[in-house]
Structures are given as structure tokens and as C-alpha cells.
Amino acid sequence: MKFSLKSKGFTLIELLVVISIVGLLSTLGLVALGSARAKARDVKRVADLKQVQKALEMFYNEPGLIGYPTPSPVTLGLDATCLSSEGLKPTSCGGSIYMGLLPIDPSASASEICDGTNDQPCNYTYTRTGTDGFEINFYLERGIENLTPDGNKCLKASGFINSRCPCGDGACVSGETCSTCFTDCGVCP
């Protein structure tokens, strides 16, 4: 009987190389998946806000109503959950309903209001800027379409702006000139 020192199987070095390659590929896959999820949330944010913009335009064009709805500012989906001919309402809507359920930010981590100074996802904030205008502050994680790079963005009656809502181009409910009046209408971020 002849004994051979050669055994069948993989050497330790071969196993370590294979394990390293699998680990590297798994890490790259997880990073790509996280980036794709953030981009998907950004797409949802923009789509949701386009729907809100259409609902606000229907409100604006309603005979007998003057301008965009009040109260202002409000956090969409939290302070105001629906939009009807009665305005932005915290609970149920009556009259002509333009949007029965206002959207909230799709990120589970959105716990603060968007005020134009955020560094993470935040809840959409609507501000009426006089009777003929509005602004909605929001945040994109990765940026999409013509809204790049990531960061604070603005939706106005005229469309999306690739920066935070500018300060000083609207009027708060109290009459102070500031479009981002969250705590004091005289102070802009």
C-alpha cells in the first residue's frame, strides 16, 4: 500500500482568498443597496411633492377661495393631514377634497421639521408666502434629476428650486417679511 502526502481539498491560502473575495463582494453589494434605497426615497419625495403641488394649485384655482391655504407654516402629514376647500386640516377634511392624505417624508429617521438648515431627512414644511405663493422645504439624501447634489431643496408654486427656500421673498401670516418663519417671523435661517 502506497501512502500519498497529497490530499484532495483546498489549502488554507486558497480558502482565505475565497473568503476575502466573498466578503469584499458582500460589502460592495450592501453599499450599493443602501445607495439605491436612498435614491428611491428621493424619487418618492419628489413624486409626493409634485402631487402636493397639484393639490395646492387646485385649491388656488377654486372659485371663491383667495390664494393658497392657511395656516402657515405647517408640517405636512403631521400638523396638516389633508387639504380641502376648507384649507389644511389636522384631522378630517370637509368640502372639496384635493388631497385626502398629505405625505410625510419616507425616511423613518425624519424626526425634525425642514427649515432649510437640515443635514438629514426631515418632515416637509409648507409656508404660505402671500396669497399667490407657497414654499415647501424638504431634504434629498442623494439628489435626483435636476435636484443635485443632496441637501435642502425647495418647492415653490413655480416649481422646484435646487437649493433651500430663499429667505425674504414672502410674507408670514403676521406680516413680517420672511419665507421660512418657523419660530419668529422676523428671523430667517
- What does the alpha-carbon distance between residue 189 and residue 179 come to, in Å, rounded to a whole number? 10
Does residue 91 fall inside a structural domain? yes
Does residue 95 fall inside a structural domain? yes
pLDDT (tens digit, 9 = 90+) per residue, 34-43? 688 889 999 9
Does residue 183 fall inside a structural domain? no
DSSP E strands in the chain: the ranges are: 74-75, 82-84, 87-89, 97-99, 125-128, 134-140, 151-156, 159-161
Does residue 116 fall inside a structural domain? yes
For the chain, give the percent of residues with pLDDT over 90: 35
Going by the DSSP 8-state scheme, the letter that residue 40 receives in this structure is H
pLDDT (tens digit, 9 = 90+) per residue, 134-147? 999 999 999 888 88
Does residue 182 fall inside a structural domain? no
The amino acid that residue 139 corresponds to is Y
Provide the grid cell at 88. Answer: 389644511
Q: Are 153 and 147 in contact (CB under 8 A)?
A: yes
Does residue 167 fall inside a structural domain? no
pLDDT (tens digit, 9 = 90+) per residue, 86-130? 999 988 888 899 999 999 999 866 678 888 888 889 999 999 988
Q: Tell me the CA end-to-end span of the chain in Å, nearest whole number.
A: 87
pLDDT (tens digit, 9 = 90+) per residue, 12-54? 888 888 899 998 888 887 776 768 888 999 999 999 999 999 9
Does residue 5 fall inside a structural domain? no
Neighbouring-strand partners of residue 89: 82
| CA distances for 155 relative to 25, 128, 147, angstroms | 39, 12, 11
- What does the alpha-carbon distance between residue 46 and residue 143 come to, in Å, rounded to a whole number? 10
Does residue 135 fall inside a structural domain? yes
- Domain with 37, as residue range(s), is 18-161
Q: What is the dihedral of CA 109, 111, 117, 121, to 10 degrees?
A: 30
Into how many domains does the chain fold? 1
